[in-house]
Amino acid sequence: MQEPKIAPSLLAADFARLGEQVLEVAKAGADRLHMDIMDGMFVPNISFGPLVLQSVSKVTTLPLETHLMIHEPDRYLEDFAKAGASSLIVHAEGAIHLHRTLERIRSLGLKVGVAINPATPVSVLEPIIDMTDLVLIMTVNPGFGGQKFLERTISKIADVRKRIDQLGLNTELEVDGGIDPKTAPHAVAAGANVLVAGSAVFGSPHGIFRAVEMLKRPVGGSQ
């Protein structure tokens, strides 16, 4: 099985030492950074906006994958593009004119991602999956880090993997929420090839370096 790509979520980082933490995950072998944008409307929590993205983009060359958990994301696509996002992931539940939103992201020259919540069926992806570079299956309900992985999302991961392969797409399949060295192998076995992890990286008792390694190679990386 191919080694998954690792996208540490900065939501779990120490914001007072953000620059240092970014350098640390980069050195540990992170493939990209996952930026969780929350507006207090689409999800109950508020995180950070384009200014933080812009600062982070100055200290790293890692791609900034930007997960927009915001109501009517169209209003902010350009702002995040200007701030240095490499890809924009919008929720199928939050983008009413999803097809148009995806076209706009593409026209900004960014990679196109679509996320679905645990209670959203994979069928919503069918009309637009061929427009995407990445599909994100939420493995918790979005809004907070440190939640428990929802086992029932495994079958959705497998369904989307099957569809991507059937269509011969290069679309990446990402999982987000409750990913740690125990849950990661299940998500990868079901077909995920990009793992987002917040607490399992920045809150790991083994330290950031080892934490990234344990997610990439969970078999050899027993605790």
Distance of alpha carbon 62 from alpha carbon 22, whole angstroms = 9
Task: Please report, to the nearest 10 degrees, the dihedral formed by the alpha carbons of residues 23, 24, 29, 34 taken in order.
Answer: -70
Q: Minimum CB separation from Zn ion for residue 64, in Å? A: 12
Which residue in 50, 48, 45, 134 sits closest to 92, CA to CA? 134
What is the number of the residue whose Cβ is closest to Zn ion? 67
- Picked from Zn ion, ligand DX5, none, the partner binding residue 177 (CB below 5 to 8 A depending on kind) is ligand DX5
Nearer to ligand DX5, 26 or 137 (CB): 137
Nearer to ligand DX5, 169 or 209 (CB): 209
- Picked from Zn ion, ligand DX5, none, the partner binding residue 179 (CB below 5 to 8 A depending on kind) is ligand DX5
Binding site for ligand DX5 (CB under 6 A): 9, 11-12, 34, 36, 67, 140, 142-147, 176-179, 196-200
Question: Could you please report the per-residue DSSP string of 89-109?
Answer: EEETTT-TTHHHHHHHHHHTT
Q: Minimum CB separation from ligand DX5 for residue 23, in Å? A: 19
Single out the catalytic residue among 36, 39, 133, 180. 36
Nearer to Zn ion, 165 or 193 (CB): 193
Task: Please report, to the nearest 10 degrees, the dihedral formed by the alpha carbons of residues 88, 92, 98, 99 taken in order.
Answer: 90
**159 carries an active-site annotation:** no
Binding site for Zn ion (CB under 5 A): 36, 67, 176
- Picked from Zn ion, ligand DX5, none, the partner binding residue 197 (CB below 5 to 8 A depending on kind) is ligand DX5
Tokens in use for 33?
């950074």
Which residue in 212, 156, 208, 163 sits closest to 186, CA to CA? 156
The 8-class DSSP code of residue 168 comes to T
Say how many residues make up the chain.
Answer: 223
**165 carries an active-site annotation:** no
Single out the catalytic residue among 39, 133, 176, 180. 176
Bridge pairing between strands 33-38 and 87-91: unpaired
Q: Minimum CB separation from ligand DX5 for residue 70, in Å? A: 12
Please list the active-site residues: 36, 176
